[in-house]
Amino acid sequence: MVFGSAELILANYFEEFPDKRPIIIADENTFEYCWPKVLGSSEKLNEAEIIQLESGEEHKNLEVCTQVWMALSEMKLSRNDVIINLGGGVITDLGGFVANTFKRGVSFIQVPTSLLAMVDASVGGKVGVDLAGLKNLVGNFATPELVIIDVDFLDSLPQNQLKCGYAEVLKHGLILDRGYWDLAISDDEITLPVVKELVYRSVEIKNSIVVNDFTEQGDRKKLNFGHTIGHALETHFLGSEQPLLHGEAVAIGMIVESWLSTEAGLIDNKEFEELRDQLLKWYDIPEVNSNVYPELLDIMRNDKKNVGGKINFTFLDAIGTARINQTASEALIIKALESLK
């Protein structure tokens, strides 16, 4: 994990490893706004071949992976070369999976360009793609050769994408650090200067969990807070006229799963109301009709975190403390979803 100028860090990398050939995976936005900031005077990067993908979660699938694998084969990419994933969570997830599986593993570098990718997707070695509309159903744990966090990429990020990533920032405070939560909610608006100041601590929090539980057997499950409900909502709205961004869905998921935490006798009502009211300042609740509940439950039943056929959650004991491997009946989950109304 390296913080600083992506341009300088990559230039130094290819000075150290001159025999490596870079292949860049980017989407149309990161190619236009971020790639020019990376190039600099590096001869290697100026000669790099680029695979440009369409942006959006709907393109994070095995069909696109196959297209990239075919392109890499035509480029005769060797295991001595390196793939550089320049983009948000879709690019770092898919690009890392492609690299990890091509020729049984090619080196890759993650260069996250969105807040979500900086504080979450690119940290921790999770790579993968969606299958049959289900989030990250196919994937692996794979360690990138390098993760470069350059907060200057955030300058071109739209406000809705800042809000999307900020949900993960708030989650880090809720599961592990009450003081960090207080700091993250201290301003009325989500602004670029505040976001840049918080990135380092968020990465530090996530990395501290990941290094002790890389394959998610224990405490790393705390990072799933809000995601059981959140992934179901994100999946449901993916094909709609108003799809939910990942962070928007997770924010709503954190409210619902906090409600379940109170029902389990964990977090008290005062703290629940604090986090609920704060999240509702920044995130809108989508309209979820009761006839959608069976679909949402079906998505949750296929969640990769489940054990023994039971839907698995991370609950809160209090703001700043989380408890893994919690369950709730489907009737109670429906009641929690109803509470959003």
Q: Are residues 176 and 141 in the same domain?
A: no
Instruction: Give the domain CATH number at 36.
Output: 3.40.50.1970
Pairing of strands 2-3, 321-327: unpaired
Instruction: Give the domain CATH number at 305.
Output: 1.20.1090.10
The tens place of each residue's pLDDT in the chain, 341 residues long, gives 899 999 999 999 999 999 999 999 999 999 999 999 999 878 999 999 999 999 999 999 999 999 999 999 999 999 999 999 999 999 999 999 999 999 999 999 999 999 999 999 999 999 999 998 889 999 999 999 999 999 999 999 999 999 999 999 999 999 999 999 999 999 999 999 999 999 999 999 999 999 999 999 999 999 999 999 999 999 999 878 889 999 999 999 999 999 999 999 999 999 999 999 999 999 999 999 999 999 999 999 998 888 888 999 999 999 999 999 999 999 999 999 999 98
Kindly compute the dihedral angle of the four CA atoms of residues 39, 43, 46, 47, in this order, to the nearest 10 degrees: -150
CA distance 142 to 154: 25
- Rounded to the nearest angstrom, the gap between the alpha carbon of residue 187 and the centroid of all alpha carbons in its chain is 23
Q: What is the pLDDT of residue 239?
A: 78
Which residue range is the domain that position 90 belongs to? Answer: 2-156
Q: Are residues 44 and 168 in the same domain?
A: no
Q: Are residues 170 and 91 in the same domain?
A: no
Q: Are residues 74 and 219 in the same domain?
A: no
Last residue within a domain, chosen from 99, 132, 156: 156
pTM for the structure as a whole: 0.94
Q: Are residues 110 and 204 in the same domain?
A: no
Number of structural domains found in the chain: 2
Phi, psi of 170 (to 5 degrees): -65, -40
Q: Are residues 142 and 83 in the same domain?
A: yes
The residue type found at 177 is D
Last residue within a domain, chosen from 133, 156, 179: 156
Q: How many residues does the chain have?
A: 341
Q: What is the pLDDT of residue 41?
A: 78
- Rounded to the nearest angstrom, the gap between the alpha carbon of residue 256 and the centroid of all alpha carbons in its chain is 19
- Give, in order, the Cα–Cα distances in Å from 181 to each of 112, 124, 202, 228, 260: 23, 21, 11, 21, 20
Q: Are residues 219 and 284 in the same domain?
A: yes
Q: Are residues 207 and 272 in the same domain?
A: yes
Last residue within a domain, chosen from 130, 156, 182: 156
The residue type found at 132 is A
Q: Are residues 328 and 274 in the same domain?
A: yes
